[in-house]
């Protein structure tokens, strides 16, 4: 398998699509929010990137769930495997592309995850505890907490506690996951350029109707659910609820996306420390040069143009 990753606004989707076009293969998305329909501008689907030289590059795990559904890593692993096996049966090298580090790592490391049923008694027991108390309970159950977003919202923290407790009580209930060999290519810009790209893209998305997209979603999805999805959906929802002015919404969202990109790079550096070899490509290069560099890397893994 080929894995193409990088922080937000790095141009990884465009490179993945061009590679898929050259290799006559398909893309499996690794983005935790692009799975939802109608969440297009805010999640940066950029579906036009999948059209290369007039050819539509096929993709998987994008636009297949209704907004409001709480998708998780366990489900992603199962859905990924279906798409992966489909492409392997076609004799095509799958391209995994996206920036959700946990999804990528869950696939590459083969996390042994459990399909955890809800525990209503536990939820009732935890409901009246403060967020600080809940985070303390979660860290006791799971000292090596992978996903820090589990500590941001009460519902999410309670669910994380529910999962951690179930893991301890059912240590053999996890699913087996095959070992997958992959070449990993990352795309990134230097920090100042990354910040400029994020800010410019945010302005563009707001001009393209991102606020209107959130307004439509609020007609069918509870506001607390949209806030749960974070970033654009969180801050624009607060703006539409008149708890933030437009300027404050923009500034807070801009800072949050910059911080998100920084966290993504921290995750990728952690992967490198753990032994994963990520071959980084400079995002400033024209697409033709990026492709040439990518094929130089892939040649080391026996994948040729």
- Residues 83 and 214: their CA atoms lie apart, in Å, by 30
Give every CB contact of residue 203 below 8 A, 6+ residues apart in sequence.
none
| 3-state SS class at 140 | helix
Spatial distance between the Cα atoms of 142 and 146, rounded to a whole number of angstroms:
9
Measured N-to-C along each axis, helices 191-207 and 210-218 cross at an angle, to the nearest 10 degrees, of 60
Is the pLDDT higher at 149 or at 163?
A: 163
Mean residue pLDDT across the chain: 92
pLDDT for 170 equals 76
**pLDDT exceeds 60 at position 173:** no
The answer to whether 164 and 141 have CB atoms below 8 angstroms apart is: yes
pLDDT digits (tens, 9 = 90+) for 3-44: 999 999 999 999 999 999 999 999 999 999 999 999 999 999
At 66-82, the pLDDT tens digits run: 999 989 888 999 999 99
256 burial class (0-12, 13-18, 19+ CB within 10 angstroms)?
middle
159: closest CA among 171, 169, 147?
A: 147
In 3-state terms, what secondary structure has residue 9? coil
Q: How confident is the model over 180-213, as pLDDT tens digits?
A: 999 999 999 999 999 999 999 999 999 999 999 9
Q: Nearest 5°: phi and psi at 59?
A: -135, 160
What pLDDT does 110 receive?
Answer: 86
Instruction: Determine the longest span between alpha carbons in the chain, in angstroms.
Output: 58
Match 């991102």 to its residue by tokens.
Answer: 210
CA-based nearest residue to 36, from 77, 69, 7, 80: 69
Residue 273 C-beta-side C-alpha neighbours within 13 Å: 6
CA atoms lying within 13 Å on the CB side of residue 226: 25
């Amino acid at each position: 398998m080929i894995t193409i990753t990088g922080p937000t606004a790095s141009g990884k989707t465009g490179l993945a699509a061009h590679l898929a076009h050259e290799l006559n293969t398909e893309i499996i998305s690794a983005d935790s929010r692009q799975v939802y329909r109608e969440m297009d501008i805010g999640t940066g689907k950029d579906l036009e990137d999948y059209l290369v030289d007039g050819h539509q590059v096929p993709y998987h795990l994008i636009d297949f769930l209704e907004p409001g559904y709480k998708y998780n890593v366990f489900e992603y692993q199962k859905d990924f495997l279906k798409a992966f096996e489909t492409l392997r049966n076609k004799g095509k090298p799958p391209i995994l592309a996206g920036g959700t580090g946990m999804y990528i790592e869950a696939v590459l490391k083969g996390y042994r995850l459990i399909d955890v049923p809800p525990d209503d008694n536990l939820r009732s027991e935890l409901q009246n505890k403060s967020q600080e108390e809940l985070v303390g309970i979660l860290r006791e159950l799971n000292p090596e907490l992978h996903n820090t977003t589990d500590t941001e919202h009460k519902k999410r923290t309670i669910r994380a506690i529910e999962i951690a407790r179930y893991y301890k009580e059912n240590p053999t209930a996890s699913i087996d996951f095959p070992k997958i060999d992959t070449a990993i290519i990352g795309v990134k810009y230097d920090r100042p350029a990354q910040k400029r790209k994020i800010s410019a893209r945010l302005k563009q998305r707001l001009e393209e109707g991102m606020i209107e997209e959130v307004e439509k979603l609020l007609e069918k999805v509870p506001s607390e659910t949209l806030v749960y999805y974070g970033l654009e959906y969180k801050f624009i929802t607060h703006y539409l609820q008149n708890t933030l002015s437009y300027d404050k919404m923009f500034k807070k969202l801009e800072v949050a996306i910059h911080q998100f990109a920084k966290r993504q790079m921290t995750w990728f550096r952690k992967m490198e420390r753990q032994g994963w070899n990520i071959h980084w490509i400079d995002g400033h290069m024209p697409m033709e040069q990026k492709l040439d560099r990518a094929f130089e890397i892939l040649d080391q893994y026996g994948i040729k143009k």
